[in-house]
Amino acid sequence: MIDTAHTARPTAAPQARPPAMSPGLVLTRALLACAVAITAGLTITYLARVTLNLDAFQNPGTTGGFPNSGALTVGIIVATLLAVVVLELLRQVSPRPFAAFAVIMALGYVAFFCVSAFVTSGLTASQIAGQLVVCLPLAIVIAALASWTTGVYPDTPGQ
């Protein structure tokens, strides 16, 4: 019989940071995330325009018609890629990367609100309200896609 009374058992290791994904996988996921974000952004924009009668992302000086889809698409791509980069950098330096990322996203939305409401000239109240209504759920979609792209979730520890 084996005496296990003095055998050292390994202690439960603290939850370790998950291994980083390969750059190719992150890039592939980022491109797929951009496509999903564009689809979600255009869908949310059209739903806000139809159901709430807001001129979301309408060119200044015009009313009705289609939104400025080109600018919206470019903005969504930039925002998605920027979110992926920020979350990946936070994963490497922060003990709670997703919490820090959520704070940055919230501050970004507040900054967008301030710029839209107080700085942007030439936009009607309907255009400003439409952009604010569209960007809140879109920010949540982009945060979820950045989380999926990098593999960093709310319970994922940093370094």
* pLDDT tens digits, one per residue of 29-41: 999 999 999 999 9
| Dihedral pair phi/psi, residue 53, rounded to 5° | 55, 45
Q: 66-114: per-residue pLDDT in tens?
A: 677 888 899 999 999 999 999 999 988 988 999 999 999 999 999 988 8
- For 31, 98, 135, 148, the CA distances from 84, given in Å and listed in that order, are 11, 11, 17, 9
* pLDDT at residue number 54: 85
pTM: 0.81
